[in-house]
Structure 1
Amino acid sequence: MSESIVGFVEAGSELGILSEDGKNCFNIYCPSCKSFILRKLQGSKLFPTSIHPTLGQDLTNIRMPSIHKSDNCSATASPFFWLVSDMMQFENIGFSRPIHDTTTNTKVYTIDRYLSCADCDLGPLGCSVLLADKPDTSTCPSIVESNPLSDQPIETITTAAPTKLLMIAADRVRYKLID
């Protein structure tokens, strides 16, 4: 273990932190302040082909700025990401302002925001990604319902929720193996 606090380890590989069904086996914490970020079994290992069959390696090669404070550290790719289904699954996470950097745009995805520790602001620990073929919002076909109070039908236009992938880099967080 690379940490003096018993039970916390840094991720270097999938060994031991992945359940049989591809979920995180342990609670996830900030590597700096040890703030609780995600409960065990709330993140799934990102399998890009299950998200979109043509993405291939593109999603697994997402590069984010280094979390180290030196100037010579460039963007790095993580070995894999934990995919979180909803932002409410997080215990304590911060979201950056929207990113308008054209270097993060590809034909396949756009990094929308970076994720950081909400307590100490260390980041990016992950990112929010928009897929190119799934716009941020889309208008669904209108639904016509009968109005019980009048003869006029009610037309309802619904808007789909934004399609975003919330991803935590597996090697940028710590895991508490012992409670």
Structure 2
Amino acid sequence: MQRVLKGKSTREDFLIGFLRHTPAVVSYGPAGLNASIKGVGFILKEEYLEETTNKLLECLEKGIDSKEALKILLELVYDENKVDFSKLTSIELAKRHTWTNVRKNPTATLLFYIPPNITYEVRCTVTIHENDVYWKYVNAVHDLYHGGKKQRDWSKTPVYIFHIKEIYDNNPRVMGAKIYP
């Protein structure tokens, strides 16, 4: 995001870099075996969540341009000291296969791949959130990132919190080496 703000990101850099944000979410349940590409992001530690969410909601209410939105996200959301690295988040936009599966079987794997050989498998337990601080935070971050103002009816977009249990490095050099815990 810093490179985008400074005008130093090429289209190719941006598109390849975006793969860090869009893993395949693999689930299994009543809808069968499923893999769905979803945007994921970080969540803040509990002690920062409510205050930051309120600030993000204020920004959305007044509406800000996309450049200002990126600056605010860098300042409030992407602070290494505030991020809870034991969790990832996503919004459910479709309510189809993944939604059906994780409601019955709250286990999923996130598969990240950046060509030619960066690949990680993140095994998780999934919780679903609607009408709580997680739901507000994740929807607010999403809408700020995508333009700086509220763009959708949030009542239709529940949020997943992926609680990380294990991480494997699937790079061809190490072939599935467990790196967490």
TM-score, structure 2 as length reference: 0.26
Q: Which has the higher helix share?
A: 2
Return the index of the structure with the highest Cα Rg: 1
Q: Which has the higher strand share?
A: 2
TM-score, structure 1 as length reference: 0.27
